[in-house]
A and B are shown apart, each in its own frame.
Chain A
Amino acid sequence: MADADEEVINSTSAEAPQIEVDLSDETQDFRLLNHLSFLGDTASSSLPKRGEKDFEPNPTEFQADVLSASRQAMHNALSHPRIHNPKNRVIGFYAPDGPAPPPQYVETPKDKGKGMNISPDACVCIPNPKGKFFQNTGQTDRWNRVWLLPEEALYMIERGSMDIRWPTSLTGTTEMGGDVSEDEVSIPMSLQAAYACFMGQGGLTLERYSVFTGLKRLGYTVFRAPGWDDSAKPEDSNNEKKDAYAQLKQLRHRGPGLAGILASISDWIHDPMSTASTTAGPVIGCGIHRSYSDVYRKMELIPWYDPVLAPQRDPLDTIAPFRVVFHVYKPTNVIKKTALPTPDFRIAVVNTREQTSIPTLPQLGALLESTPLDPPSGEKMERLLYMRLRHGYRNVVLAVVDQGVTSFLRIGDAAFGKEKLFDAKHVPSGGKKHGFSKQRRR
């Protein structure tokens, strides 16, 4: 008695056609990496294909050999050193006490009180910034030095693009004899030291860092959002805004909202034939009904949620972990770090070991209301009902991290009530091909 759905499942299990194969979804055989030649040859850095795997271990020597070759390949790949060409080496200095003016700088009374404009969480200073990375990383101070946030510094050292030094004030200077600069006497920080010193600094958790680097590796530009600090609360100075929230909330209690009220008034004006009263008598009263649309409109008894009318919420007025911590920009866009445009994606980071349940409606509602309205637009959206529903009126991305494994879920605030199926122009076209797997409907 297999129905259509089951047939789909059975066929997928029999032939297992992988629709979207994400290579990062499973452990790859590191031997494939050996096909790539490293060090200096960038022409062949395309990714290898999926490797063949066996079903289960057997006691053959052949299998043991293959396994040990795989492990050796992994060992070799992971022991690749981080080396810096002296020509384009970038040196940063760890500043455990946060941003500070250069040591030789004497504060003049004129400059007193002038802020450095650097995030207090910044912890690595680069006196001579050069290279492409600083176009969208770090903040520049008055002395043309670039300051990096802990996650930025850690990512740079991890990808082998920066040489971070312990401050000589911390480790003491080493007499190497002769007149030498700080570059030569300071001790390079190891990757392990960088993790130990930067992780946990200024709200950086390993989960957030995993999401940050995962996106950076794919080429996205990632910046901290105002909601980064878990304890940050909205400022009370914007009372006006709050009043507006309250008003809007009141409106919401009156059913489908202002538009709904206006619509019902206009309906009443435009439809003198109406004899219906839903409290007493039939929904569709007697009279002459000229079109189905009017009849259907009268049958709209159930109030529905309209995301357009939901109040705009301060991004800080949300509860961690369901608050936006990263603003993400697509790789194609050129970003000026001094004037950030509206982000392409907003991301909240959730750790599965601390948050074991899916968000409650108030948590999710608050999270969505803290993002700006982003109604479906464009030719395709106007034509396809399914695309409109999928896109939603607000959206946010949840990055769920389980012990280093990350999944991204896009949550869209879909408005089913806004789609009048009885209006001819809204008749859905195109089949339901993609399924609603990652959508929230409410």
Chain B
Amino acid sequence: MDQPTLPIPISFISGRYLLFSIDDVTYLRREYNTCGVLIGTLPQIPQQNVFLGLPLELMPEEARLLVDKGVACIVDEAKAHDGMQSLLEEDRRQYLRELESQGLHATRILAERKDQQRDQKFKEKSDKKAATARAAAKAGGGDKHDSPATPANDSPASVADFFDDSASAKASTSTVPEQIYAVTPTTSYPPLPRPSTSSNNILARPDVPLSYPLFAHLQSRGYFLSPGLRFGCQYVAYPGDPLRFHSHFLVVSAEWDQEIDLMDIIIGGRLGTGVKKGFLLGGPQLSREQAESEIERTESVRTFSIEWAGM
């Protein structure tokens, strides 16, 4: 978890803000309360939706805040990848060599792990055999509960047998040089040079909705904010990293002189209380015409928490 080189390039792809580097993702989460939403498939367990992987999608608000803080810059990724055409012969060769060595590394690790698994299974098997023998000896003593357990114990052992053979076969062949695993890299940097603020494919800072000041305000108070679709609000506010904490507030932003339907307050208050969260209504006191910048607007934010009293 080293600190990545700043500014962190945020990929702008098809109108969305994405992060591909795990180091960038971890760093922003740790230092800037920015968690985004993971939208990719985890290659190790691809058929499920509970744990997702890279890329990480950032809300325009998150991207804007990071750019305003000077931590990140927005990169036009399609344009940056035109650089693949002008890649130097030397770089290309070095990159391929680098990938090959990564593949070799992965191959070795896998082979080692298989050896380990084989050893462990072998050990388990012999242990089990000993246990079965002991149980059989005991069964004569009249313990009936042991006997149904014995066939159940047998089947995993035979499965282990099967794995044993294939594992040893693979381990022996994996030493042959042609069996090197291929690697799909996650990011394109390298072979492309990591974009800096001087690159010509840097884009202007993102446009943000009217709710940005409230977002920035809560962010500055240490809250982690994520999209609010699941609770029918604009953001869900977590008091700490959502990995470890439940959310506290359903956040809805309003302009200072905006009329708010009373029903919306009731709905938000009831829903929030029903899911053990507060309904947080807030917004900047200055409108976009009155303030010079979103930063000024952010400084004028006031927040209100509404709870359904159920009298």
A-side residues, CB < 8 A to B, are 2, 6, 9-10, 12-13, 16, 23-30, 33, 36, 38-41, 43, 45, 47, 53-57, 63, 66-67, 70-72, 74-75, 77-87, 89, 155, 157-161, 163-164, 166, 170-172, 174-176, 187-193, 195-197, 199-200, 204-206, 210, 213-214, 217-219, 352-353, 400-405, 407
Q: Identify the closest chain B residue to A58 (Cβ).
A: B240
**Closest chain A CB from B222 CB (angstroms):** 8
**Closest chain A CB from B294 CB (angstroms):** 18
Could you say which of B185, B244, B273 has the most chain A C-beta atoms within 10 Å of its C-beta?
A: B244
Residues of B within 8 A of A16 (CB): 276
B95 beta carbon closer than 8 Å to chain A:
yes
B78 beta carbon closer than 8 Å to chain A:
yes
Q: Which of B38, B181, B273 contacts A13 (CB 8 A)?
A: B273
B243 to A71, Cβ gap below 8 A? yes
| Contact A86-B187, Cβ < 8 Å, known A71-B30, A197-B81, A217-B41 | no
Cα A12 to Cα B26 in complex, Å, equals 36
B117 to A41, Cβ gap below 8 A? yes
Cα A234 to Cα B80 in complex, Å, equals 38
Q: Which of A47, A187, A403 contacts B48 (CB 8 A)?
A: A47
| Contact A206-B41, Cβ < 8 Å, known A39-B110, A192-B11, A195-B77 | no
A80 to B51, Cβ gap below 8 A? no
**Closest chain A CB from B132 CB (angstroms):** 21
**Closest chain B CB from A155 CB (angstroms):** 7
**Closest chain B CB from A340 CB (angstroms):** 22
Residues of B within 8 A of A404 (CB): 36-39, 57, 227
Cα A13 to Cα B309 in complex, Å, equals 12
Q: Identify the closest chain B residue to A86 (Cβ).
A: B179
- Looking at B84-92, B138-146, B257-265, B298-306, the stretch in contact with chain A turns out to be B84-92
Cα A38 to Cα B32 in complex, Å, equals 31
B240 to A56, Cβ gap below 8 A? yes
A200 to B46, Cβ gap below 8 A? no
- Looking at B17-25, B64-72, B284-292, the stretch in contact with chain A turns out to be B17-25
Cα A47 to Cα B46 in complex, Å, equals 12
B186 to A75, Cβ gap below 8 A? no
A191 to B186, Cβ gap below 8 A? yes
**Closest chain B CB from A409 CB (angstroms):** 11
Q: Identify the closest chain B residue to A218 (Cβ).
A: B49
Residues of A within 8 A of B240 (CB): 54, 56-57, 67
Residues of B within 8 A of A218 (CB): 47-49
B205 beta carbon closer than 8 Å to chain A:
no
Residues of A within 8 A of B103 (CB): 83
| Contact A206-B13, Cβ < 8 Å, known A47-B50, A82-B186 | yes
Residues of A within 8 A of B43 (CB): 80-82, 158-160
User: Would you mind naming 17 contact pairs between A and B with Cβ atoms under 8 Å apart?
Assistant: A9-B273, A36-B44, A38-B44, A54-B246, A74-B26, A77-B51, A81-B43, A159-B41, A160-B43, A160-B46, A171-B92, A187-B87, A192-B186, A196-B11, A197-B81, A401-B229, A403-B229
Cα A27 to Cα B87 in complex, Å, equals 40
Cα A36 to Cα B95 in complex, Å, equals 32
Residues of A within 8 A of B18 (CB): 195
| Contact A174-B22, Cβ < 8 Å, known A25-B230, A47-B50, A155-B41 | no
B182 beta carbon closer than 8 Å to chain A:
yes
Q: Which of A23, A160, A206 contacts B16 (CB 8 A)?
A: A206
B102 to A81, Cβ gap below 8 A? yes
Residues of A within 8 A of B218 (CB): none
B181 to A83, Cβ gap below 8 A? yes
B254 beta carbon closer than 8 Å to chain A:
no
**Closest chain B CB from A13 CB (angstroms):** 6
Contacting residues of chain B (119-175) with chain A, CB-CB under 8 angstroms: 159
Cβ-closest 8 pairs across A and B: A160-B43, A402-B229, A404-B37, A200-B14, A159-B46, A27-B242, A196-B77, A404-B57
Cα A302 to Cα B102 in complex, Å, equals 73
B-side residues, CB < 8 A to A, are 1, 11, 13-16, 18, 20, 22, 25-26, 29-30, 35-51, 53-55, 57, 59-60, 77-78, 80-81, 84-85, 87, 89, 92-93, 95-96, 99, 102-103, 106, 110, 113-114, 117, 159, 178-189, 191, 209, 226-230, 239-246, 248, 270, 273-276, 310
B191 to A219, Cβ gap below 8 A? no
**Closest chain B CB from A240 CB (angstroms):** 40
| Contact A171-B85, Cβ < 8 Å, known A25-B230, A404-B39 | yes
Cα A162 to Cα B231 in complex, Å, equals 37
A29 to B244, Cβ gap below 8 A? yes
A191 to B93, Cβ gap below 8 A? no
Cα A214 to Cα B188 in complex, Å, equals 25
Could you say which of B15, B39, B59, B117 has the most chain A C-beta atoms within 10 Å of its C-beta?
A: B39
Cα A24 to Cα B38 in complex, Å, equals 11
B244 to A205, Cβ gap below 8 A? no
**Closest chain A CB from B92 CB (angstroms):** 5
Residues of B within 8 A of A71 (CB): 26, 29-30, 241, 243
**Closest chain B CB from A431 CB (angstroms):** 22
Cα A200 to Cα B78 in complex, Å, equals 10
A29 to B243, Cβ gap below 8 A? yes
Q: Identify the closest chain A residue to B26 (Cβ).
A: A75
Cα A81 to Cα B44 in complex, Å, equals 9
Q: Which of B13, B180, B245 contacts A57 (CB 8 A)?
A: B245
A188 to B50, Cβ gap below 8 A? no
B50 to A210, Cβ gap below 8 A? no
Residues of A within 8 A of B55 (CB): 191-192, 195
Residues of A within 8 A of B20 (CB): 190-192, 195
A213 to B181, Cβ gap below 8 A? no
Cα A145 to Cα B29 in complex, Å, equals 43
Q: Identify the closest chain A residue to B173 (Cβ).
A: A87
Q: Identify the closest chain B residue to A354 (Cβ).
A: B15
Residues of A within 8 A of B80 (CB): 196
**Closest chain B CB from A122 CB (angstroms):** 18
| Contact A174-B276, Cβ < 8 Å, known A30-B243, A195-B11 | no
A70 to B182, Cβ gap below 8 A? no
Q: Identify the closest chain A residue to B166 (Cβ).
A: A40
Q: Identify the closest chain B residue to A91 (Cβ).
A: B182
Could you say which of B35, B43, B188 has the most chain A C-beta atoms within 10 Å of its C-beta?
A: B43
Residues of A within 8 A of B239 (CB): 55-57
Residues of A within 8 A of B39 (CB): 206, 210, 213, 404
Residues of B within 8 A of A195 (CB): 11, 13, 18, 20, 55, 77
A160-B43, A217-B47 given; 13 more Cβ-contact pairs under 8 Å: A36-B44, A40-B114, A54-B240, A75-B1, A77-B42, A80-B53, A84-B184, A160-B46, A187-B87, A195-B55, A196-B13, A206-B16, A404-B57
